[in-house]
Structure 1
Amino acid sequence: MTHVDQAAILLMSLGERDAAEVLKHMGPKEVQRIGAAMSGLSNVQQADVQSVMQHFLEDARTLTGLGLGADNYIRNMLVTALGEDKASSLADRILMGGNTTGLDTLKWMDARSIADVIRNEHPQIQAIVVAYLDADQSAEVLTFFTEKVRIDIMMRVASLDTVQPSALQELNDILEKQFSGKGGSQTKAMGGYKVAAEIMNHLDGGIETELMDAIKEVDEDMGNQIQDLMFVFENLKDVDDRGIQMLLREVSSEVLIVALKGADGELQDKIFKNMSKRAAELLRDDLEVKGPVRISEVEAAQKEILTTARRMADAGEIALGGSGEQMV
């Protein structure tokens, strides 16, 4: 079982009230992943439940505090993951008494709904929303706009530095939500080349290439600066050996074989070097006997590995660095 599966079993075992108390301290992505795992549970063996409980108790004994501090809440995601009947009561318990800002509320919505909310708004408002959301969510939102609108939004995201309180208040008015706490008069740091690069990293290969080419046509310097900050599959050669070894433990051999079909010799050698001699020999043999693979399959495998690498980097397990070029 994965850690997410174990968390799902634990929460389902706790019961609705206690599960709600735990979930309300998690962020949107965590709740989405666990909620999806909960909805997929079926025929769980008693031995699995006992194993999860035992591991939880062992881990709990080593902790001096839970470190809880987040105060985000769930609605649309849990309904989507568990269904209306299962989720309604649980969502009500989590949301009861909570205050969620307009922008934070968007993080609980699916990408299509977010796109619909901002579709007819000023491009600068659209850019603020896209810059505020997590990069993978922003990338999905952009897929629901035309190429022309995507270019405009991304260039505005890259050009953002700080946002005036009046702009944030305007966005709140649009969402019919008020920010919690005092508005204050300080500007908020938002957007920039790095945010644009992170969003570009999460776009599908074809959309990413078209968008980057279009941005460079309008502002070549901006496009180059965004590209320099992007992390693509070939940049894995810049990850240290320990990081590669940890990443390989999280990637299946089938996905790795397909991904390496589109990698250059230097990166392949980097991967081989960080495997046992026997494992490296087997991987070389598999690559040699593997027939032609569609570019779309290679890109999908590489994207899966990059998603894992970014997740591990966000968790502080590995360090990513370097810049890359578009692969062919």
Structure 2
Amino acid sequence: MNRTVNRNVILTCALTGAGDTAGKSEHVPVTPQEIADSGIAAARSGASIIHIHVRDPQTKQGSRDTELYAEVARLIRASDVDPVINMTAGMGGDLVIDPENPTTQLEGTDLVNQTERLKHVEALRPEVCTLDCGTLNFGEGSNTYISTPDMMRAGAARIRELGVKPELEIFDTGNLWFANVMYEEGLLDDPPFYQLCQGIPYGAPVDAGLLHAMVNMLPETAQFTSFAIGRNQLPWVAQSVLAGGHVRVGLEDNLYLSKGVKATNAQLTERAVGIIEGMGSAVASPDEAREMLGLPVAVEERASRHATHQSFTDSALTQEA
């Protein structure tokens, strides 16, 4: 596939992630209000898409609580910005085993089926949600992220039924191979939306040659984002634009603006905007991103999704009362 420099770039800001980072930077948002405020600031700084994880406000660790997602979405939709809302559906895939007794699950295991992973997506119907496209040895130790072919097919089918766009999380070339199989099987609508993730141990390493090799494997109609973590995050903005793709920054993947200088999501977004525009490209508005990804652009359709977020939050508050 021959892709040229991307001239209209979708910019995603991944706000908080699920990693144990809240204690490493005071800028990592934790509560729904903090996550929403950080997303609103990123959108005002130029982000086309806001990628949302939520955290337990008490433990500060990642959560799958639908009510937390609903509150974040409600706060963003009540603001003066209208970014594409992208919710993770990856929580619930962690398997930590005892290496001496592999049938024993250790603390840190959070393993549920695909239906459970999509509960908040079913309740809230965000415009985009993630679909992790393979099993991965996640870092050192004995933590494996589980996403089997059966799980992926079930997830793709259910996400499609819900009218949500799957963002296909590609951690290595085998993941990309299987995502392409799902596309060939008709489980993914055009244009399929791939995210090429680099530098996450132990998936695809940070390597520009590997990025271009993966881009050459994409379906002709695909839209793609690529990103790298840590200190490679901001340089990878340029790499992805050069490869014909979109970009992602944010505190989920990197805590620093420069060496020793901790960043906010808005600052990382502003820096990415500068890189994109400095290359002669433009950052897509949220509605331009919707059009490129085949999402509803009509105000009426989006208003229906916004009402779903509000309705769920109102219902949850009534039950609590």
- TM-score, scaled relative to structure 2: 0.30
Greater share of strand: 2
Greater share of helix: 1
Q: Relative contact order: is structure 1 or structure 2 higher (C-alpha 8 Å, sep ≥ 6)?
A: 2
- TM-score, scaled relative to structure 1: 0.30
Rg (Cα) greater in structure: 1
